[in-house]
Each structure stands twice: as C-alpha cells, then as structure tokens.
C-alpha cells in the first residue's frame, strides 16, 4: 500500500474510533444494545463518504457537517453517560443532573476521565473540518496505470446530495435519537398533567404524638440485602435492625423520584419532581422563593401538629435547592455542610460531597439531647452521603471490607454507623415513644456493584423500615415514595387518617390496592402558570428585586434567601409560553446548555456589582436580545415574536 493509502487507512480508522467510542463503550462495557453500535458505524460511514472525499469546496458545507457531527457525538455521549451512571437510557434523572454544580463535583472526583472524554468530543468536529478539505489542498488523489500516474475522477455531486439525505435519515433513526424519543413518549404516557395536590388529615386529639427520626440512606437500596448477590456480612447492623422493625418489602421507585432532592420531595410531599426544561435541573428549586407553594408536605403537617423540626445533611444545603425546599415546608432549621462546620469547634474530615456520616450522626445525637430536654415532639430528618456513587466516600476511619470493592467499604461503614446511632438513641430517647425510620432516598445509580444491581432491574426495591416499639413484621403491600410521609405520621400516632399529596398510608394502600401500572406513573403537582412573554406585561423592579409577568410575581432570590449575585432566569418556549425558572452563579454556567433559548433574566455579576436585565434569545450576540442597565423600575410591553425569532 502506498504512503497516501496508508494515511487514508489510518485516518479512516481513527475516525471510526473517535466517532463510535460512546457506543462501543456502552455496548461492550455497559450492556447497551448492539443496535447502537451498528447505527454509529453507519453514521460514521456516511459522514466519511460526504466529507472525506474532497468534494466540499466551500467552507459553509464543511462547517455545517462539522457542527452536525458534533451534535450527533454529544447526543451519543449523553446516552453513554446515562448508561454509565444508571444502566439505562435517557430519563429525568440524567437531565436533572447535567448542571454546572453536578459537573463540578464530577470534575473533582473524575477529572482525568472528563478531560479525556471532552477532548474526544471536541476532536470530532475538528477531524471532520480537517479531512473535508478540498482535494486540491491535499496530496493529489492519484493511481498508477501502465506506468503513468492518473488522477482519480471526482465523484458526482449528486451522490453527495443523495448520501446527505441518507445521513439525515440515519441520524433521525439512530439509536440515541430513538431512545430520546422513547423517553419523551414514556413521559407523556405515564405522567399526568400537573395539578394541585391536596393534603388532609385527622389529628388524634388528647395524645402526644411520638417523635420521628427519618434517616435518608443515600442510595442504600433493599437489593444489597440479597445474599445471593452480595456478601452476607455486608450489612449486619441493618439486618439486625430489620428483625426489630416493620419492614416494607415492596417499595417501588416511580418516575421523577430517582435522585436525592426528587426522593425527598416525593417522600415528604407525595408527588414527583417534574423536569420542565432539560438542563435547568438542580437549580430550579433554588430559584423559587417557595417551591410548590400550594403543597402541604410532611414538615408542614408536623408543624401544625406541634412538632419541632430539624433537617441535617452532610452536603451543602443549597445544592439542588434542598435547603430552600425544607425551610419553606415546615423545617425550623436546616443545617448542611457550612452550618455544621460553623458550629463544630474541631476540624472535620470532608469528602468531595461534604461531612462524613459518622460526624453527621454525632452532631445529630447532640441535637436530639436538646430536643429530649424540651418535652415537645420533634421531627428530625437526616441525609447521609458516604454511599454516594460511583465508589462511595467512606471516612478514613472506616475499615476496609474484604474483597477490595470500594463501595463495600462505604456500605459496611454506613451500616455500622446507622447501627451505632440507633444504639446510642436507646440511651437518650424513649424508644417506645420514638419512630425511627431508615429509607433509601432513591435506587442506587451506577457504582462498582452495578453488575449485581442491574442483573434484575425489575426486582430492585427501596429500603424502608420503621422501628416504633411495636412488634416486628414484614409488609408486602406495594407502595412508593409518596406513602412514606403519611405512613410515618400514622406510625407516630399523630393522625388517624391522612393523605399528603397523592400519597396515603401503607395501611390505606393495603385496604384499597392499586393496579401495577399505578407505580409506573409520575404524578406531578406543580402550579400551572399560563404566562406568555409576547402577551403579558413584563415588569422588573431592581430595588425590590421582583419580576412580574402577567399576574405572577417572581421574587429574585438565591436558594430562597437574599440574592447576592448571579443570574435569575425565566425560561420560555418558542411561542413565549412560560416553562421554568432557574438560578445560577453566572451566565457562563448555563450558556452551553441554554444557548438559543428564549429567556428573561436578571443579572448581578458580583456582590457589589451593577445590575442588568436582559430579554430575548440567550446568545453572545447582542442583537439577539434587549439589554437594560440602571433601569430602576422597568416595564416591557408588546414584545413581538418576530423580534426574537429562532
């Protein structure tokens, strides 16, 4: 083979690798369908046929092909990320977590992997651009006949046009696009339209309800107790506690509940978290002054029943708007990483996520002693973090578990710490007057035990056990996140009947069973706002930090508190209909994901910096939007759809 031939062969081989690596990684290593790899190979061949024969002589088709290739590879990469983290395709969990804050944590723990993957993504458009150079700018494409060098004839342009159409069709029917379409169709099929969720209950008069201690065990699902899949000595303390508890053996995970803040909202409010705008994700609850304003959740009901309330977590309480949600739904105090560190005199060991579980439980015991002295019932919510994927983040004091799997060490250590915490509780609380619950916030995402967890996906269940001084039993009634809050209040003898949002007690579910399909649906309870940027008057008050659109007011806040700096953004569809609200520290944090969206946002770049307001398409191009500074009070009426056409 001649030198030019070797170069072409090498270039084509490199192209196949850099274009198909997400599919190859997912199919060979993560168990995805072979159809994905076949569709990637087909697309790679079509891209090569169109671009690598030197027929694109103008920069515009070369640039278009490069951009299209980048879009295709990013979609493939996103699907590969979903398979890597969850073992499944596109879903709400993925889009909720593709945010700067989540990527920042990933950067801190998997930096080399992220650099490698981002470099591979960037190489695709660069490769297309370079190898689609016209033939006259490269070495001539010649062959030898009868001792004479002759130039290969150019392929007819009609072939390129036909194959370009085939490329578009193949891309539209590719595995990632079909998976995305399936996800959107499934959401439509198994999700109900948002509606106001109601809460009602009948309090038990004349008696003092029991205290409630709710432990959200990060990703610690019931599957880990299956000794045919996991070491029988992995969770000895929790296994022992199960013999003293009411154990609910059939707790399902509905759509819209499969990540931490969604699991907390669903278990306390009785409905799923809806992702209105993919990529607004973990910022949206932080942007709302009072998330789910019309909902009455577990903390709200507990306050009405006379409970003191406290939420503790090792991670930053501002992450994903957890603190804002809890503070505005009945919790007197919400203490996360920063607040606990400020109250602790000695230095604490930290993981990339925050305070380790052993220090969290020690802090909780001190708070419980204060509660016990008050003689008033209390609700304490605890959120652990050391069993977070992919490998867990156990404290240095945790002994290594036999076998070498890092997640085993994290699981066994959290098991020991929960057991020790419950043992310590027996010395400071009346166990007959206290309900202690351990609940998975959600099913585990991809971790170093994924092969066992994903072996029987339909059999995976959440862990939920309740110790309330009553006899131990197993309850096989199917329930979901929605039933956790009502069940705890009923167990605490605080209510004789209750529903929170769409959730009932486990006892009520036993009396009135539901169809299996019931648990495949997400029930949403977000306020429906009929607001339109092109129809309704938009006003902004930079002194009061208030945006008004139509009859709705949006207080410019940061995690429910004072707005220090950043951007507060309203998001609309192309017809101007309101979709979502989000908060971010800077415009750069959301520009890659939200570029081209129709938005209206308030910006303060630094704590002492000036303020501005922008409405239009999110773009670096100043002509794509209207920009206002030093405006005081601003009224915008009669925005035309044509002004910001896509």
pLDDT tens digits, residue range 580-629? 888 888 888 788 778 888 999 999 999 888 899 999 998 888 778 889 98
Q: Which residues, including other chains, have CB under 8 Å from residue 143's CB and lie 6 or more apart?
A: 149, 150, 152
List residues bridging with 627 in a β-sheet: 614
Between CA 178 and CA 66 the distance in angstroms is 22
Q: What is the mean pLDDT of residues 251-260?
A: 91
Per-domain boundaries in the chain: 3-190, 200-461+474-520, 538-644
Domain 200-461+474-520: which CATH number of 3.40.50.2300, 3.40.50.720, 3.40.720.10, 3.90.550.10: 3.40.720.10
Instruction: Count CB atoms within 10 A of the CB of residue 233.
Output: 13
Band (103; pLDDT cuts 50, 70, 90): low
Q: What is the mean pLDDT of residues 559-568?
A: 81
Band (143; pLDDT cuts 50, 70, 90): very low
Rg of the chain over all Cα atoms, to the nearest angstrom: 28
Distances (CA, A) of 398 to 59, 269, 393, 524, 592: 59, 35, 10, 40, 40
Between CA 248 and CA 266 the distance in angstroms is 17
Q: Could you tell me which of 628, 622, 625 has the C-alpha nearest to residue 603?
A: 628
Most confident of 91-105, 143-157, 513-527: 513-527
Length of the chain: 646
524 pLDDT higher than 80: yes
Percent with pLDDT over 70 in the chain: 87
Between CA 100 and CA 104 the distance in angstroms is 6
Between CA 542 and CA 545 the distance in angstroms is 5
* pLDDT score at 514: 75
Angle ∠(12,14,16) on CA atoms, nearest 5:
70
Band (528; pLDDT cuts 50, 70, 90): low
157 pLDDT higher than 60: no
Between CA 208 and CA 210 the distance in angstroms is 7
Q: Which of 90-94, 248-252, 609-613 has the lowest mean pLDDT?
A: 90-94
Q: Which of 183-187, 224-228, 285-289, 515-519 has the lowest mean pLDDT?
A: 285-289
* pLDDT score at 276: 62
Between CA 284 and CA 583 the distance in angstroms is 7
90 CB-side CA count, 13 A: 22
Most confident of 23-27, 356-360, 626-630: 356-360
Between CA 48 and CA 65 the distance in angstroms is 10
Q: Which residues, including other chains, have CB under 8 Å from residue 357's CB and lie 6 or more apart?
A: 314, 384, 385, 386, 395, 413, 414, 417
Span 297-326, pLDDT tens digits: 999 999 999 999 999 999 888 777 788 899
Band (553; pLDDT cuts 50, 70, 90): confident
528 class by beta-carbon count within 10 Å (0-12 exposed, 13-18 middle, 19+ buried): exposed
Distances (CA, A) of 36 to 77, 81, 126: 12, 14, 23
Preceding amide of 323 cis, omega within 30: no
67 pLDDT higher than 70: yes
> Residues of 341-372 as b/e, b for ≥16 C-beta within 10 angstroms?
eeeeeeebeebebbbbbbbbbbbbbebbeebe
Span 128-139, pLDDT tens digits: 888 877 765 555
User: Where are any strands of DSSP class E within 87-208?
Assistant: 142-145, 148-151, 200-203
394 pLDDT higher than 80: yes
Between CA 22 and CA 75 the distance in angstroms is 10
355 pLDDT higher than 60: yes
279 pLDDT higher than 50: no
409 pLDDT higher than 80: yes
* pLDDT score at 117: 87
The conformation of residue 361, written as its DSSP 8-state character, comes to H
Between CA 65 and CA 162 the distance in angstroms is 15
Percent with pLDDT over 90 in the chain: 42
Number of alpha helices (DSSP H) and beta strands (DSSP E) in the chain: 21, 24
Q: Any alpha helices (H) in 429-470, and if so which ranges?
A: 450-453
* pLDDT score at 192: 56
Instruction: Count CB atoms within 10 A of the CB of residue 575.
Output: 11
Are 413 and 386 in contact by the 8 Å Cβ rule? The answer is: yes
Distances (CA, A) of 326 to 280, 483, 493: 20, 18, 23
Q: Is 61 helix (H, G, I), strand (E, B) or coil?
A: helix
Q: Please tell me the chain's helix, strand, coil percentages from 3-state DSSP, rounded to the nearest 5.
A: 45, 20, 35
Q: What is the mean pLDDT of residues 395-413?
A: 90
Q: Which of 79-88, 243-252, 401-410, 438-447 has the lowest mean pLDDT?
A: 79-88
More confident residue, 49 or 365: 365
Span 29-59, pLDDT tens digits: 887 888 899 999 998 888 888 877 767 777 8
* pLDDT score at 266: 96
Q: Which of 44-58, 292-306, 352-366, 532-546 has the lowest mean pLDDT?
A: 44-58
* pLDDT score at 352: 85
Taken in order 508, 509, 514, 519, the sign of the CA dihedral is: positive
* pLDDT score at 109: 66
Instruction: Count CB atoms within 10 A of the CB of residue 535.
Output: 14
How, if at all, do strands 473-475 and 246-248 pair? parallel
Band (95; pLDDT cuts 50, 70, 90): confident
Between CA 262 and CA 258 the distance in angstroms is 6
Q: Is the pTM of this model over 0.85?
A: no
Q: What is the mean pLDDT of residues 508-530?
A: 77
Taken in order 61, 67, 73, 79, the sign of the CA dihedral is: negative
The conformation of residue 156, written as its DSSP 8-state character, comes to P
| Measured distance between the N- and C-terminal CA atoms of the chain, rounded to whole angstroms | 50
190 pLDDT higher than 60: no
What is the average pLDDT value for the chain, to the nearest integer? 85
Are 236 and 246 in contact by the 8 Å Cβ rule? The answer is: no
Q: Could you tell me which of 262, 155, 211, 235 has the C-alpha nearest to residue 481?
A: 262
Query: Where is 555: in which H helix or E strand?
Result: strand 552-555
């Amino acid at each position: 083979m001649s030198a030019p031939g070797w170069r072409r062969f090498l270039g084509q081989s490199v192209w196949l690798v850099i274009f198909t690596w997400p599919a190859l990684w997912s199919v060979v290593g993560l168990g995805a369908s072979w159809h994905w790899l076949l569709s990637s190979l087909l697309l790679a061949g079509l891209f090569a046929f169109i671009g690598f024969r030197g027929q694109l002589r103008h920069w515009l088709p070369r640039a278009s092909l490069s951009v299209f290739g980048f879009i295709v590879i990013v979609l493939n990469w996103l699907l590969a990320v979903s398979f890597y983290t969850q073992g499944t395709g596109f879903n709400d969990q993925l889009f909720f977590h593709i945010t700067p804050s989540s990527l920042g944590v990933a950067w801190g723990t998997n930096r080399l992997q992220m650099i490698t993957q981002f470099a591979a993504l960037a190489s695709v458009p660069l490769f297309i651009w370079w190898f689609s150079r016209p033939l006259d700018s490269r070495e001539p494409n010649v062959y030898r006949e009868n001792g004479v060098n002759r130039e290969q004839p150019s392929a007819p342009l009609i072939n390129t046009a036909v194959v370009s159409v085939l490329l578009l069709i193949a891309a539209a029917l590719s595995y990632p696009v079909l998976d995305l379409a399936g996800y959107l169709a499934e959401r439509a099929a198994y999700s109900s339209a948002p509606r106001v969720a109601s809460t009602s209950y009948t309090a038990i008069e004349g008696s003092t309800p029991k205290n409630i201690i709710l432990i959200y065990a990060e990703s610690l699902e019931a599957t880990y107790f299956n000794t045919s899949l996991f070491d029988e000595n992995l969770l000895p303390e929790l296994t022992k506690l199960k013999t003293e508890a009411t154990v609910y053996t059939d707790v399902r995970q509905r759509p819209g509940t499969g990540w931490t803040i969604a699991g907390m909202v669903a278990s306390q409010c009785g409905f799923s978290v809806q992702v209105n705008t993919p990529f607004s994700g973990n910022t949206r609850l932080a942007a709302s002054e009072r998330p789910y304003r019309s909902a009455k959740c577990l903390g709200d009901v507990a306050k009405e029943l006379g409970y003191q309330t406290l939420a503790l977590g090792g991670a930053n309480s501002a992450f994903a708007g957890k603190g804002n949600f809890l503070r505005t739904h009945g919790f007197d105090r919400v203490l996360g990483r920063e607040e606990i560190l400020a109250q602790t005199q000695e230095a604490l060991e930290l993981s990339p996520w925050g305070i380790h579980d052993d220090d969290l439980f020690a802090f909780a015991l001190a708070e419980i002693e204060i509660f016990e002295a008050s003689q008033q019932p209390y609700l304490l919510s605890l959120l652990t973090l050391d069993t977070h994927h992919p490998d867990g983040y156990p404290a240095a004091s945790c002994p290594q578990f036999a076998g070498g799997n890092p997640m085993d060490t994290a699981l066994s250590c959290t098991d020991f710490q929960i057991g020790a915490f419950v043992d310590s509780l027996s010395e400071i609380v009346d166990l007959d007057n206290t309900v202690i619950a351990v609940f998975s916030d959600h099913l585990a995402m991809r971790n170093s035990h994924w092969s066992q967890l994903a072996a029987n996906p339909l059999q995976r269940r959440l862990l939920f056990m309740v110790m309330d001084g009553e006899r131990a039993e197993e309850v096989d009634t199917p329930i979901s996140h929605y039933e956790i809050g009502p069940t705890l209040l009923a167990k605490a003898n605080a209510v004789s009947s209750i529903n929170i949002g769409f959730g009932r007690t486990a006892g009520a579910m036993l009396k009135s069973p539901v169809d299996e399909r019931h648990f495949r649906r997400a029930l949403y309870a977000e306020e429906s706002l009929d607001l339109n940027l092109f129809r309704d008057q938009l006003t902004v008050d930079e002194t009061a930090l208030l945006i008004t659109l139509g009859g709705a007011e949006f207080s410019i806040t940061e995690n429910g508190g004072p707005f220090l700096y950043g951007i507060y953004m309203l998001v609309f569809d192309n017809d101007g209909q309101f979709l979502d609200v989000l908060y971010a520290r800077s415009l750069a944090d959301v520009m890659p994901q939200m570029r081209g969206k129709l938005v209206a946002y308030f910006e303060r770049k630094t704590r002492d910096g000036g303020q501005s307001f922008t409405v239009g398409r999110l773009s670096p191009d100043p002509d794509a939007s209207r920009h206002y500074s030093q405006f005081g009070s601003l009224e915008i009426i009669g925005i035309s759809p044509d002004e910001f056409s896509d």
